[in-house]
Homo-oligomer: A and B are copies of this chain.
Amino acid sequence: MSKKGILTVVSGFSGAGKGTVMKELLNQFDYGLSISATTRAPRQGEIDGKEYFFLTRDKFESMIEQNQLFEWAEYVGNYYGTPKKYVEEQLELGKNVILEIEIQGALKVKEQFEDALLLFITPPNAEELKKRLINRGTETIETIQKRLIRASEEAEYMNCYDYIVVNDDLKACVEQINQIIMNEHSKSSKNKEFIKEISNELEAFKRGEF
């Protein structure tokens, strides 16, 4: 079966529990890391190539020009993005890599990397999403309303994802995502090499090399 790593992109509504799901996935299973690039200054203790690749604006912009990023965005005057090279190296080594990216970024990854697996994490219904946002207890009603309006806009893109994963029970959700990624290795579209090999071997029998 396909030994190359699978590139998975996880998105979901704010309040769906993406962060916790990602943390559990990376804790429990052996996924390859993705390291983002940024032009913001390193904070105390942050190491280049660990928390981020810290780049100058010139370097970042030349990477944009040379199409070396899966996706990028500018946020509060700084660039943030996902360098292709580091991810591709890990995939070649057979590591599955998971990226948590918001929807527009996720769709950009898919455009450039057709084999990417897109997962969308959602609570079982909108009422539950509202409840979770309220229960966080960290945000004003206005902020929660803004998040729900944003979720309503984001819902239009759910069809672009390969799977919709309901995060009702954390353990079950994490397990399901891991299973989906493992089974992705068995997709026929990802096993052209295997199909070719077994075809050639069978062909040899046909030629009488029994």
Contacts from A to B (Cβ < 8 Å): 1, 120, 122, 125-127, 129-130, 145, 148-149, 151-152, 155-156, 158-166, 176, 179-180, 183, 186-189, 191-192, 194-195, 197-199, 201-206, 210
The answer to whether A183 and B179 touch across the interface, beta carbons within 8 angstroms, is: yes
How far is A202 from B205 in the complex, measured between Cα atoms in Å? 60
The answer to whether B183 and A148 touch across the interface, beta carbons within 8 angstroms, is: no
By secondary structure, the A interface counts as helix
Apart from A126-B198, A130-B210, A166-B186, what 11 extra A-B contacts exist at CB < 8 Å? A126-B202, A126-B205, A129-B202, A145-B205, A148-B210, A152-B199, A155-B198, A156-B199, A158-B195, A163-B183, A164-B188
Assess A163 versus B187: contact at CB under 8 Å? Given A201-B125, A205-B148.
yes
Q: How far is the CB of A95 from chain B (nearest CB, A)?
A: 21
How far is A189 from B125 in the complex, measured between Cα atoms in Å? 18
Assess A205 versus B152: contact at CB under 8 Å? Given A145-B210, A198-B122.
yes
Chain B positions within 8 Å of A125 at CB level: 197-198, 201
Chain B positions within 8 Å of A176 at CB level: 183, 186
How far is A151 from B183 in the complex, measured between Cα atoms in Å? 24
The answer to whether B197 and A186 touch across the interface, beta carbons within 8 angstroms, is: no
The answer to whether A158 and B205 touch across the interface, beta carbons within 8 angstroms, is: no
Q: How far is the CB of A132 from chain B (nearest CB, A)?
A: 14
Q: How far is the CB of A66 from chain B (nearest CB, A)?
A: 33
How far is A166 from B185 in the complex, measured between Cα atoms in Å? 11
